[in-house]
Amino acid sequence: MSGKVWLVGGGPGDPDLITVKGLRLLEAADVIVVDRLGPRALLDSLPRVVSGEVTVVDVGKQPGHHPVRQPQINELLVAHALAGRRVVRLKGGDPYVLGRGGEEVAACVAAGVPVEVVPGVTSAVSVPAAAGIPLTHRGVARAFTVISGHDDVADLLGGVPGGPEHTVVLLMAVGGLAHTAWALVAGGRPQDTPVAIVEDGYGPRQRTTIATLGTVAQVAAEAGVRNPAVVVVGDVVTLAPAWVGEVAGGHRMWRAAAQRVSS
């Protein structure tokens, strides 16, 4: 029997946000290889998982701690598929948005294993939405860029527009937040540029912390911000309820943003 690998995006964490196709594949899988940020609660509702008919392999990574490294994950997928099993690689968000999905597809192709990518709702867009932040909004922002906080942001800013109409979304950025904020200011963004940190989007501890580029490192430290979190930089943050309710002068800034939209 010929096996196959499906890379399934599970969305930002809420089990209800997986696609219909992704759920059907999980229900039919022989092996599920799951990330730390995948919708793990969903597995408890699958009868074949509960009965032990499905092998669940935990390959979750945490910042600075990768017990199963990426080459080993690639080997797992290939080995199970070559043994004739239906393998679902369950990821948080979307497999092709900073999820190393391309590497896993390349490993399968190199081994002659059939592989398919099933897109998911990326946390880069959905988690800000959970906090009431649109990444684009008429009269406020018309484009956005997604950047990995693991990378040296200073090296990437040359290709990122610096105007107020361009939103920057940072994934995996909590650990290097102070350096990233400094790099964005050095790249031309004002220190009073609004920033929102949305923790655990759609999860039980969802929280939005708001600040500016000049204050975000201190504010995040005082609030005890931790992963998983998505950082949004730009004027769209002023549209969030948290900004209106918590920032000094927030109501005035909200009205200014609304006025820009109406005009």
Contacts of 221 by beta carbon, 8 Å cutoff, 6+ apart: none
Q: Which residues are 141's β-sheet partners?
A: 137
Distance CA 41, CA 111 (A): 32
User: Residue 172 catalytic?
Assistant: yes
Distance CA 60, CA 66 (A): 7
User: Residue 35 catalytic?
Assistant: yes
Catalytic residue among 14, 91, 94, 172: 172
User: Residue 30 catalytic?
Assistant: no
Taking CA atoms, 48 is separated from 14, 85, 87, in Å, by 21, 15, 14
What are the helix (H) ranges across 96-142? 101-110, 123-130
- Tokens 């943050």 belong to which residue? 237
Q: Could you tell me where the beta strands, DSSP code E, fall in 26-126?
A: 31-34, 55-58, 86-91, 115-118
Catalytic residue among 35, 94, 200, 235: 35
Backbone dihedral angles phi then psi of residue 75, each to the nearest 5 degrees:
-65, -40
**In this structure, are residues 98 and 88 in contact, taking their beta carbons and an 8 Å threshold?**
no
Q: Which residues are 229's β-sheet partners?
A: 199
Instruction: Tell me which residues are annotated as active site.
Output: 35, 61, 172
